[in-house]
Amino acid sequence: MSEHFVFPVPASALEGTHCTKEQYDALYEQSINDPDGFWKDQAGRIDWMKPFTKVKNASFSGDISIKWFEDGTLNASANCIDRHLPERANDTAIIWEGDDPADSKHITFSELYEQVCQFANVLKKRGAKKGDRITIYMPMIPEAVYAMLACARIGAVHSVVFGGFSPDALAGRIQDCQSTFVITADEGLRGAKKVPLKANVDTALEQCPDVSSVVVVRRTGGEVAWSEGRDVWYHEAAATVPAECPPEEMSAEDPLFILYTSGSTGKPKGVLHTTGGYMVWAAMTHEYVFDYKQGDIYWCTADVGWVTGHTYIVYGPLANGATTLVFEGIPTYPDAGRFWQVCEKHKVNIFYTAPTAIRALERLGDEFVTKHDRSSIRLLGTVGEPINPEAWLWYHKVVGEERCPIVDTWWQTETGGVMISPLPGATDLKPGSATNPMFGVKPALVDQDGNILEGATSGNLVITDSWPGQMRSVFGDHDRFKQTYFSTYKGMYFTGDGCRRDEDGYYWITGRVDDVINVSGHRMGTAEVESALVEHDLVAEAAVVGFPHDIKGQGIYAYVTLFEGAESSEELRKELVALVRQEIGPIATPDFIQFAPALPKTRSGKIMRRILRKIAENEFGNLGDTSTLADPGVVDDLIENRQNK
Ligand code: WTA
């Protein structure tokens, strides 16, 4: 695939666009040269209770302090709901599409208002207050959104944990942020399969004695165990509280949410986002990147358990008064045409999904797509991992009928919202490239020593100045924040991604350069999987690497060394897989486990992952320099017994 393959902005994308090429150039320039002026204007998207006087106060050196709009006050839920009521009370805020295609409903802004106020009152009545951390472990039902906005309304900090995580993973996240409240449902429903959410919470809470309140939404009506006093049914509690709850006045730098994400070392980190800058960033990027116009039906297929769900299902679209579609199910149920059936049913205009879903659906054949009417779709988007040009072209041709621009959006949990992306009316597209920076974003490529590289080149991607949506800290561990993001290259935010810039200045993200792998768009620290494996009594040591996987983007390959005298077996392999699923969840299931008598190490005892990666990629003809290995013989055995043949 040549990178000279260019798709110019189609005339249809120019109609009523928020941003043409000329406007992009002018606004980008202003955002860099006059950030205070630019962001003062952009902050006008948000309703402030008390206006700010100071725009930006951020430093990437020393203790790393990031503040935006710091003396302003606001409430995120009021921005997503209350301010739309005067003109839009009866417009649809949320279209909910259930797992079963017969199940769907529309929720207006005035219904959303009542539901969120009621939810907020239930939390308050049970003692929740400003600053408390509330864990949300929910299926994709409207109550998940109500719960998030209810926390925001009373100034509590939500920590949403993806419903696919195991009880152990949930417990770790509850403990880390000392959360005393959990919101969950009896069961989730995905592809007609039940997910035992309440039972998982019960198991997790055996390790979390400080949780005093569990609010349970009834979804399936399945049997659940009950802890009197601690557990309460949401519908019962809601019936006793008013549907009015004034929004708490929050300072711009008060925390809005914590979201756990994997890094290259240690346990997942609690990425902390605050209120003012995040809301401005979410609203602005949602409008420009999706060229959102009032009345558009907008669908992001992510789960609210990930940052994409936070910013582009909940906060961005609702801040803009958009109709946001919340989908409970999976792309292949009842059949592989589900996405397109839903687009047809609800006349979706903007569709945003992950490359892994595109690749999986492409395999199942065009007919699932073409049998549904997609004429309402005007714009397509992707997020979460690099999209290979083949999948991009299929998405463009078959799904988008060659009419729809594709926005390939690069960003991270840490960045709060989109950082590098085409804008539909402004950017000529190149399949596989996230193209140009968003306003206010100053990307740079650096070499190993942190020297900034100019022109067409490859390097590690850093951002050299603050933007409003940036994470402010790691919850409870500011040193880890400094260490992880600002110590590799002094004075710059290090993304952990490698990147190439072409002769037109377009950015092409090449993937993680640290020990983080990206499996179906889900971030996973290899260290987390390794620590799950070594929990097993027979395992002495484990090393986990990623390898290219046709659908998942990357798969998980684990090398395991057993203690002297322990025997490897199929049985043990199964136990290890089960252990990883128990410690983390099904998304971390290893694709291959290779038992190895020893791992390749340097003389100082460091595991040489470069070699393990090559073997997992089946590229052992090209292992590079192995002369520093303590015992080069180890490698022959690894190659001989590789699993990925
Ligand atoms: C990767 C998801 C290439 C990248 C919003 C990043 C991408 C990590 C893209 C963050 C893209 C995300 N092209 N790579 N368009 N979008 N990534 O925190 O490696 O779950 O660092 O945030 O996903 O994943 P996270």
Q: Token pair for residue 143?
A: 């109550």
Question: What is the predicted pLDDT for the residue at 335?
Answer: 98
Residue with tokens 């060659």: 402
Q: Which residues are annotated as a binding site?
A: 308, 384-386, 408-413, 497, 512, 520, 523, 534, 536, 539, 581
Question: What is the predicted pLDDT for the residue at 4?
Answer: 59
pLDDT digits (tens, 9 = 90+) for 412-466: 999 999 999 999 999 999 999 999 999 999 999 999 999 999 999 999 999 999 9
Please state the ipTM of this predicted complex: 0.99
CB 74 within 8 A of CB 250: yes
Ligand 1 atom at shortest distance from the alpha carbon of 512: 19
Q: Take atom 1 of ligand 1 and give the residue whose Cα is closest.
A: 385
Q: Distance between CA atoms of 286 and 587, rounded to whole angstroms?
A: 28
Average pLDDT over residues 580-590: 96
| Residue 424 or residue 2, greater confidence | 424
Residue 161 above 50 pLDDT? yes
Q: Collect all residues with Cβ–Cβ distance below 8 Å to 42 and sequence separation of at least 6.
A: 280, 284, 439
Residue 304 banded pLDDT, cuts 50, 70, 90: very high
- The candidate with the shortest Cα–Cα distance to 278, out of 260, 302, 294, 259, is 259
Ligand 1, pocket-test mutation among 162, 304, 356, 412, most atoms within 8 A of CB: 412
Q: Which residues line ligand 1 (CB under 6 A)?
A: 261, 306-308, 383-386, 408-413, 434, 495-497, 509, 511-512, 518, 523
pLDDT digits (tens, 9 = 90+) for 122-156: 999 999 999 999 999 999 999 999 999 999 999 99
221 burial type by CB count under 10 A (0-12 exposed, 13-18 middle, 19+ buried):
exposed
Angle at 384 between CA 382 and CA 387, to 5 degrees: 60
Tell me the three-class secondary structure of 103-136, residue by residue. Answer: CEEEEEHHHHHHHHHHHHHHHHHCCCCCCCEEEE
pLDDT digits (tens, 9 = 90+) for 316-330: 999 999 999 999 999
| Cα 623 to ligand 1 centroid, rounded to whole Å | 28
Residue with tokens 């399949």: 431
> 3-state DSSP call for residue 265?
coil
> 3-state DSSP call for residue 181?
strand
Cross-strand pairs, 133: 157
Residue 116 above 70 pLDDT? yes
φ/ψ (deg, to 5) at 529: -70, -40
Residue 257 above 60 pLDDT? yes
Q: Which residues are annotated as a binding site for Mg(2+)?
A: 534, 536, 539
Ligand 1 atom at shortest distance from the alpha carbon of 522: 20
| Cα 355 to ligand 1 centroid, rounded to whole Å | 11
Instruction: Give the global pTM.
Output: 0.96
Q: Which long-range contacts (CB under 8 A, 24 or more apart) does 83-87 make?
A: 83/47, 84/109, 84/321, 85/109, 85/110, 85/113
Q: Distance between CA atoms of 231 and 184, rounded to whole angstroms?
A: 10
Residue with tokens 């679209």: 317
- The candidate with the shortest Cα–Cα distance to 118, out of 269, 302, 297, 242, is 242
465 burial type by CB count under 10 A (0-12 exposed, 13-18 middle, 19+ buried):
middle
Length of the chain: 645
Average pLDDT over residues 268-273: 98
What letter does residue 50 receive in the DSSP assignment?
A: B
Q: Distance between CA atoms of 543 and 527, rounded to whole angstroms?
A: 8
Q: Token pair for residue 429?
A: 């597209």
Residue 295 banded pLDDT, cuts 50, 70, 90: very high
Q: DSSP labels for 418-469?
A: --B---TTT--B-TT--BSBPTT--EEEE-TT-PEE-SSEEEEEEE-S--TT
| Cα 495 to ligand 1 centroid, rounded to whole Å | 10
Ligand 1 atom at shortest distance from the alpha carbon of 434: 15
φ/ψ (deg, to 5) at 345: -60, -45
Q: DSSP labels for 541-603?
A: EEEEEEEEETTTEEEEEEEEEE-TTPPP-HHHHHHHHHHHHHHT-GGG--SEEEE-S---BBT
| Cα 303 to ligand 1 centroid, rounded to whole Å | 15
What letter does residue 288 receive in the DSSP assignment?
A: H
CB 589 within 8 A of CB 613: no
Q: Take atom 3 of ligand 1 and give the residue whose Cα is closest.
A: 386
Of the listed ranges 226-235, 456-465, 483-492, 600-609, the one predicted with least confidence: 600-609
pLDDT digits (tens, 9 = 90+) for 514-545: 999 999 999 999 999 999 999 999 999 999 99
Which helix or strand (DSSP H or E) is residue 237 part of? Answer: helix 234-238
Residue 481 above 60 pLDDT? yes
> 3-state DSSP call for residue 200?
helix
What letter does residue 326 receive in the DSSP assignment?
A: E
Question: What is the predicted pLDDT for the residue at 631?
Answer: 84
Question: For residue 462, how many C-alpha atoms fall within 13 Å in the half-sphere facing its CB?
Answer: 26
| Cα 94 to ligand 1 centroid, rounded to whole Å | 26
Q: Label the pairing between strands 188-190 and 133-137.
A: unpaired
CB 596 within 8 A of CB 604: no
| Cα 207 to ligand 1 centroid, rounded to whole Å | 32
Angle at 114 between CA 111 and CA 120, to 5 degrees: 140
pLDDT digits (tens, 9 = 90+) for 165-213: 999 999 999 999 999 999 999 999 999 999 999 999 999 999 999 999 9
Residue 253 above 60 pLDDT? yes
φ/ψ (deg, to 5) at 553: 85, -65
